[in-house]
Each structure stands twice: as structure tokens, then as C-alpha cells.
Structure 1
Amino acid sequence: MKQKKYLILILSGLFFSITNSIHGNNPDKGNEKAKTITFRGIYADDPAGQEGLYNPERGLRLEIAVDIAGRKDVWNPKQFPDITSHLESESAIYASDSISLVQSYFYLTGFAGKELSEDAFATMDTYVNKLRESGKKAVLRFAYETAFMGRAGTGPTLEDVLRHMEQLKPFLAQNTDVIQVVQAGFIGAWGEWHSSFHGLEKTNDSKRTILEKIVWMTPENRMVQVRVPEYKNLINKEDQSYNRISFHDDFIVIKPHQWDGGMHEGTPYFNQIVEESPYLVVDGELPWGTWSMNEDPDNPEAGWVIDGKATARQLFLQHYTSLSAIHNYKEKGTKDKYSMMYWKETPLEESFLSENHMPISGNYFKNQDGSPATRNVFDYIRDHLGYRLELQQLKINGNPTAGKEISLDLSLINRGFSTLFNEHPVYFVLIDEQDRITEFLTETNVHDFQPYQPKDPECKPLLHAIKGQFIIPKNLETGKYRLGLWIPDGSERLKYNNRYAIRCANGDTEWWSSPDNKYGINILTSLDIIRH
């Protein structure tokens, strides 16, 4: 059935090669037909033009904490007495926010002083399998303690932590496909490297030992995030692991605060993140709205709405990949509205973005008739966290003839805050009238899709290219084909799952999913394949 359904080609140099020249050594060069197609961005009044564009490994994220020993939710065990129902509930609540990431806390509280059991790994498997089923990936953190300011009744020793990392390394290797990044937890309350029962954060030696072990535990093709640059700086810059360590700011408040870790603008730590972040997966969150916006008359910070425009600028400057949608958004507590709800009411002017050299997606501030469109801060942040690939132009050279060579040159601009990370191969595909698919792998490296050249003070958008020169198979049936761009997940487990394929931010291209949901493809144009 699969062979009838899809024509999957294993392409060698005989059939496919990438070249920097769109002509190459082509004996039929004089008979070539050239075709150029121009694409546009998404107008505000395009269908779904006001909605988020669902894409893997970027954007707003959820937050779920599971008790591995108890097989239940940490914070709401009565409401969610199993390992996955809270994830399902939150996915439904935030479905309109186009969320593909989940900060996933695995609490190992019940295993202090013990080995991780087979049941523990079975429980973790249940959770990560639910992530795959949901089309999501994990921002993964391990922790033990849930109490703040020394109120924990117990906690792991250094020996517990290191022993558990030894056990966890194979588990992470087996589930790399569903891991976006690993956060350096393990120590203290919520794994935030403070308030630990045994004082694991008290010396640089113990922190360095734990961080080095976390990097060792984490698959080599995934990064590790630390709470503040101070912890990263425990590692020698010459050490190979240094460049694998990124940041997650758990207290984004913009204005200086005693709890901001010395990371507000103008500090050395802020500048360090700006400098290093173009090449790193960066995550963060606002404080809880129930804290920052409470109505306690004794709290001088009562009613504190975090500045949306200034937050957008910081997320841009520090190349954020993801941001919590849980904090200061749809919380239930002392107020009906929190900071992000106010962001939805805060207009964002195109002039503000231009003045700050921030990305502006094509037609983002326009309607289809050319009239100006109003955009708000929340939508802009949602749409530009991580990558946002906007196709520009496709050049086709060569006759679409079975057995003959054709050359494709597709340009794009990344309008997002950051480049792409992890594994994402890039293919051109042909889809026939029976939905059978022929794949053509390119040599494109999506990690090179920087929004602008790092350190460019004007942040001018870069034009990137996806190029391919290949021979249309002789045995391909004649007829009308759709030519598409397919950017799947790089893992074998998720490659043929359309929820993990990347969708471009264009209002004049079709997003096509195969009937069996294996492919998610950006349709570029149609071709009539002929035969001599």
C-alpha cells in the first residue's frame, strides 16, 4: 500500500545535486524555459490572518509538572490524578495560541536516596508519548523540591542527583526527537538553583559539577539552558560544552528588580545574552500575575502590568525562541486580566518596530485592499518568537520533462526573532494527481537562516536561498503536478508526521496535508510534466 501511495526516491548524485549555479552543465540549456514566481506575506485580513501560525519548536509554550513517583500532577493532583490529563486540558485551553512546546517538569521527589525505578521510566514514557500524539515537544526540566525559602522538608543529595543523571542519559537519548531543549534543573525549589534542602547551590564547585553532568547527560545535538549567565560562566569558554549552554529567564519584568538575576537592560548579563543568543535556544517567562498584579495594599508592586512593547523589544534583542503562555496570561486568581491580556489591547505601531530595527513581516500591517491594519503587542510576540519563514521568490529553469534536468532557486527571509535549531531537512517535492509524492532532498542548513547578520546594528533582513538541481525521473507519469517545499522533523520517528513540518508565513501559498497526515507541504506552484 505504501509503495502504491507514495513514490519515495533515494536520490544519489546521478539524480540530484545541489549547486550554486542554477544552470550547471546542461546539454539542453538552450531549450530551457525560465519561470519566476513571487510570494507575499500574510495580510491582516487574509483567512486566519489574525491567528497564530502553528509551527514546531517555537512560540508560546505551556507548563506542566508531573510527579513521577506518584504518577500524577504536582500542583493539581485531585483534578489531574494521572500523568497526561493536565497536558490534555491545557492544550485545549491554549489551542488558539498555536502552541507546540511544553515546559515539562519531571519531579523526582520520591526518589531521593533511591534509584529511579522501571516504573519511573514507564511513567516518563507515557508522558513523552502523549507529547508526540499532541504534536508538541518538551522544554525539559528535572526537579525534586517544590517549596521556597528553605521550607522543603527534604531533598536530594549531590550523590542522588549525579546517580539519577547516569540513569537518565539513555532515556534522553531514546527520546531526543521530542526534546526541544533541556533546562538545568535538579537544584532547589522548582529546579531554579536556590533554596535546596542540602544547599547544593552554596558552592561553585557543586554547581559546576552538576551543570557539567547535565551537559553530559543531554544528547549532543541538544542545548542546555541555565537560569542566569552566572551559572554558564562557571564553565570555561574554551570548553566545548560552553557553546551548548543557553539561557531561560524565569523573571522577565523589564524594569530592574531584586529578583531579576541582574539581567535587566544595561547589565553585563543582559549584554552577554544579547551577544551569545543568535546561536542559542532561548526561553523565558513573566512572573505569575497573581504575584505581580495582586491587590495586596501592603505590596508596593500591586497591579504591576509588565510593559508589552519593552518585552517585545527584549525578546527580539535576545533572540527568544519561546515564552511561557501560562504566566501573567490566562491565570485564575485575584484579577480577571493579567499583563498579556493588556498586551492584546495595546496597539503596536509599525514605526516602533522600524525605530528599534525589529522584524516586520511583509503585509503584516496591511489589509488586502492596501488599507492599514491594526496589530497588537501580544499577536506580534506570538507571531515572531523563534523563526518565521517568509518565502520571497521562486525561479525555475528547465523544461519540466521526465528524464530532463530542472533547477530551482527559492529565496526567503526569516522574519522571526531567532534562527532554527535541531534537525530539519529541506526537500522539494512533486505531488501527482493521486497525491503520490516524490521527494528531492536539498543540502540546505536551516541553522543558517538568521533573521539578520549578528552584530549588524541596523538588523537588515537577510535573504536566504534553498537551491536544487535535479533530474525528473524518467518513469514519472506525465500530467499536472504540484511543486512544494517540505521541511519535516529530522528524526525518523517524527519525520512523517505533518504536525512537525514547518509552515511558511505566506498568504498566497497553500498548506497541504497528505490524506494520511504524513506530509505537511507548502505548495509553491504547479508544473505540467511532459515526455519527449
Structure 2
Amino acid sequence: MRKKLLFFILFVLVIAGIIAGVHDYFHWKVMLTEENFTESSEEIWNPDRGFYHIYGFLISDEPVDMGEQLDTQMEKDSDHALAMVQINLREYREKEISKEGLQNIEKLFQAMSAAKVHWIVRFLYDWNGENEKYEPQSIDIVLKHMQQTGEVLAKYRDSVFTLQGLFVGNWGELNGTKYAETDSLQQLAKQLVQSTNGQMYLAVRTPVQWRKIMESADVSRKNGQNDPLYDMLGLFNDGMLGSGNDCGTYGEKSAAEAGVDQAWNRSEELAFQEKLCSRVPNGGEVIIDNGYNDFEHAIADLKTMHVTYLNEDYDEAVLEKWASSKVQTEDCFDGMDGLSYIRRHLGYRLLLSEVSMQHDFWEDTAEITVALQNVGFAPVYKEYEPVLLVKDETGQTIYEESPSGDVRSLLGGNEADRKESFSVSVPLRGVKKGCYSVYFALRDIADGSFITFANEQKIENEGYKIGTILLES
């Protein structure tokens, strides 16, 4: 009898120990709480989008303090994420760029890389619409200049957002040049993508120029790779919304009638840009006050063209017209002036829209899904890493994971309602009881900076708090 009693007591103790161990290993009581998210109407600063100012530099053999010159020009520019630099090479229109000239170019890029902005870069020979006076007489000189500047561009590529133009034309805009024919455009574009090692976005002035260049590009898949031109060649439009044909950017014929070598009508060119610029950037400047840049019409076209950046200084009449317009919506922007609305929506504007958190009892995991929207005009063209963090009550990170999901699939523009889900399973086995906070963020792999979301909630502790996990015995 005594042995039976001892055996029973031992049995109870073993079972109690097992139950206690299970309690420690599995969490029988898990409470998950999601945060609610509201869109903010605030202007937010994010890289590679927005309005910009232009800064110009004439390159010569004379020694110049490029850092001082750039600081002087940018003295009042403190709130932009982008700036444009126009680099004039007319002093070398008959020859290679000298050693001294190249040194000045490198000093300029060194100074540019120290600024907080990223750069829209345009090499050119003309600032006055008199390109025939300044452009090299031989395309070989232009090609040589591309080769010479390529080393500097490659070295400072992290500070360059896009490289506009192919060096030639009035204001570097590929018009008024002898090199506008298909063969010349193809030569110049191929040299420029080669000089930059296919590692930065390029841009030509019109969709028809893009098509002429790409007519010869090898866009088939080779070893899993596209032709670099296909992946990197975008557009810029300095006649944006200036008339029914954007001041010569578009034509009158349909795509079927015009083919590759002529501009298409406005509606088909807009559709072409909507598809193309879902993967490569587009921007420029709006000009000439007319019906095509009235606020409502402008919003529709800026969305369709996926416009990421615009000149802050041109055209003042159009910008003032937008500033005097009022937004009529049923959201947080209702009553805002039109210019402020456009300022907030150029490029990408990412919004945390909802969070789902569920406990999988048998796996003892927290199944977390975050939904993002892009309510801006254009996609995110740079790759950012999604990050989910779990922190304890002292602020220490106990878990970090990169959820599945691709932010670049959020195209914005006319697809602003589209959502992309980012999902992760957070293991809870062995985690001590307590209250844990969950954060989500998009992080730049290169420098560790974070994208700001367009929510009322602010970033904290390396992310946006999306919920809590409460573990109890």
C-alpha cells in the first residue's frame, strides 16, 4: 500500500512537472492586439521624390572650389530630397575633357555626395537654346566625354537618382541637335549605359526617343538578365502639361499608324508612360498656363505618367494656379490647396493601412501580416528591406525578421487602392511571459535609414508600432 502511495505521489509530481514544462514551452494564454492606422495629410520627407531646384556649373581647366560654389548655391535649399545639377561641357566641344576638367567634375561630385539630397544629373553643352554654337561637331567627342565622366558617375552612383539626357541638344533636352536620328540616339544611349555600368537610371526626353533606342536593344532574357537599357532607361519631360501635345512631346497619329519612329497621340503616349514608368522614373517641369495643367486635369495625368519629381521654380504661373486651387475630397486632404496636395503626392507615399495578428496554438507562433498602400503618383524605384521587430518591455529587440512582400509592386497613381501584404511567423516557444511590442519598417540596406509612412502615427524604436503580444502562464 505504501509503495502504491509513493508511486502515485511520484506520478502526480511527474505529471505536474510535465504540465509546468508545457506551460513554459507553450503559451496557453496569448493576447494579440493590433494598432489602428489613420492617414496623415502632413508633408513627409523621403528620398528620391518631390520638388527640386537646379544648380549649374561650367566646367573648365581653371581650379575651382566646387564645394564652396555648391554650398553658396544651395544655401537656402534645406527641405528638398532631390536637386538637379547641370554640368556644362562646352569648353571641351572640340576635344577630350582635360585632366584639370575631370578633377573639377570629381570635386563637384564629391561635394554633391556630402549634401543630404540625391541628384538628378544632366550633362550638356548649351544653356541658352543655342545648341548649334556649343555642341561638338563629331559624335565621337560626345561619346568620349561619356566615357570620361563614367568613372566619376560610377564612383558616386549612390548619390545619383537619375541621369537625364544624352549630353546633346538645346538645354541638354535632345532637341535642336544633329544627333536626334535613331542611329545616333542608339550610339549615345549604349555608350552611356556602358559608361555607368548599367547601375543608374538614365532618361530621355520623349517616349518616341525611348522607342527608337530600344528598337535595337536586346530585351530578351539572357542568363536571366535584360539588356541594361531596358532596365534603366526612363523619361523626363520639360514640356509637361504645356499643351495638348506637351509642346511637341506627343503627335497626332495612333500607335498603329505612327509605328516606332514617330510620336503617338496623347492618350496612347500616356498609356505607354503608365506602363513604362511603373518600373523606371519620370519627372520634369510643367510649363505654360493652359487647360491641360488645370488642377484636376493635372492630377489625372501626373498619376498616369507616374511623376516622381518636378521643378520647384518653373513654371511659376502653373504652380501659382495650383496653389490657388482647392482639393475637394472626402479624406484628410479635403480643403488643402492644390500645390500642397501635389507636393505630398509626387513619387511614392506609403501608407500603413491594416494589420492582422493571430496565434497559431499548435505551432505556438504569432502570424503577423501588415498591409501597405502607395497613395502617391509613382512607385518606389529603389529596393528597401521590410523589417519586423519584436521588443521587450526594456526596449531590447528579441526578434527581427524580413517579412515576405515586395514594396515595388505598389505602383501608386491609378492603383492607389492596391495593397501589398508583408507576412511573417514569429516563434513564441521559449519566450518568457510578458508584454512585447511589435514594430514594422522599411529600411535602406545601404545606409540604414527608414522610409517615413504617411500615417498619423510616428516612427519610434526603429519602426512603427503595429501591435502588442501579451504572454501569460
TM-score of Structure 1 vs Structure 2, range by shorter chain: 0.7 to 0.9
Equivalent in 190, 195, 216 of residue 217 of structure 1 = 195
Q: Indicate the SS of the match to 1:169.
A: helix
Larger Rg: 2
1:193-243 deviation per Cα after TM superposition (whole angstroms, max 9, x unaligned): 1234xx333x32112211222232334353321101121111227533335
Q: Is 1:412 matched up with 2:380?
A: no
Check the 8 A contact 1:109/1:143 in 2, yes or no. yes
TM normalised by structure 2 equals 0.77
Query: Counterparts in 2 of 1:246-285, with a 5 A limit?
Result: 246-256=234-244, 259-262=247-250, 266=266, 268-285=268-285
Match of 1:523 in 2: 465
TM-score under structure 1 length normalisation: 0.69
- SS for the counterpart of 2:382 is coil
- AA partner of residue 428 (structure 1): L
Aligned residue for 2:53?
Answer: 62
Distance 1:270 1:392, change over 3 A: closer
- Change beyond 3 A, Cα 1:149–1:506: same
Give the aligned partner of residue 298 of structure 2.
311
Taking every aligned residue pair, what percent have the same amino acid on both sides? 17
1:426 alignment partner, SS class: strand
Q: Does 1:485 align with 2:440?
A: yes
- The equivalent of 1:297 in structure 2 is none
Is the 1:391–1:506 Cα contact (8 Å) retained in structure 2? yes
Query: What is the aligned partner in structure 1 of residue 345 from structure 2?
Result: 384
Q: What pairs with 1:94-493 in structure 2 (closer than 5 Å)? A: 95=79, 99-117=80-98, 119-120=100-101, 122-150=103-131, 152-153=133-134, 155=136, 157-196=138-177, 199-201=178-180, 203-234=181-212, 235-236=214-215, 239=219, 240=227, 241-256=229-244, 259-262=247-250, 266=266, 268-287=268-287, 292=288, 306-329=293-316, 338-350=317-329, 363-365=331-333, 373-398=334-359, 405-430=365-390, 439-451=400-412, 459=415, 461-471=417-427, 482-491=437-446
Residue in 2 that maps onto 1:4: none
1:502 aligned partner: 451
Tell me how far apart the structure 2 counterparts of residues 70 and 248 of structure 1 sit (CA, whole Å): 31
Which ranges in structure 2 are unaligned for 5 or more consecutive residues? 1-24, 220-226, 253-264
Instruction: Give the residue type in structure 2 aligned to 1:380.
Output: Y
Alignment CA distance shift 1:419-1:208 (3 Å): same
Quote how far apart the aligned CAs of 1:431 are.
5.3
SS of residue paired to 1:411: strand
Q: Give the SS at the match of 1:375.
A: coil
Q: 1:473 to 1:246 in 2, by over 3 A?
A: farther
Q: Which residue of 2 aligns with 1:15?
A: none
1:161 Cα deviation from its structure 2 partner: 1.8
Q: Is the 8 A contact 1:112 1:155 kept in 2?
A: yes
Q: Counterparts of 2:185 and 2:51 in 1: how far apart (Å)? A: 29
Offset of residue 55 of structure 1 = 1.0
The 3-state SS of whatever aligns with 1:320 is coil
2:148 match: secondary structure: helix
How far apart are residue 151 of structure 1 and its match? 5.6
Q: Distance in 1 between matches of 2:393 and 2:59?
A: 49
Alpha-carbon contact 2:391-2:436 (below 8 Å) kept? yes
Whichever structure has more helix as a proportion of its residues is 2
SS state at 2:278 partner: helix
Larger RCO, structure (CA 8 Å, separation 6 or more): 1
Total equivalences in the alignment: 425
The answer to whether the Cα contact below 8 Å between 2:281 and 2:308 also exists between their aligned partners in 1 is: yes
Distance 1:181 1:309, change over 3 A: same
Whole-angstrom distance in 1 between the partners of 2:435 and 2:30 = 19
Residues 218, 375 of structure 1: CA spacing in aligned structure 2 closer, same or farther, 3 A cutoff? same
Looking at structure 1, the residues matched to 433 and 197 of structure 2 have their Cα atoms a distance apart, in angstroms, of: 45
Q: Distance in 2 between matches of 1:263 and 1:117?
A: 41
Q: For the aligned residues, what is the CA RMSD?
A: 3.7
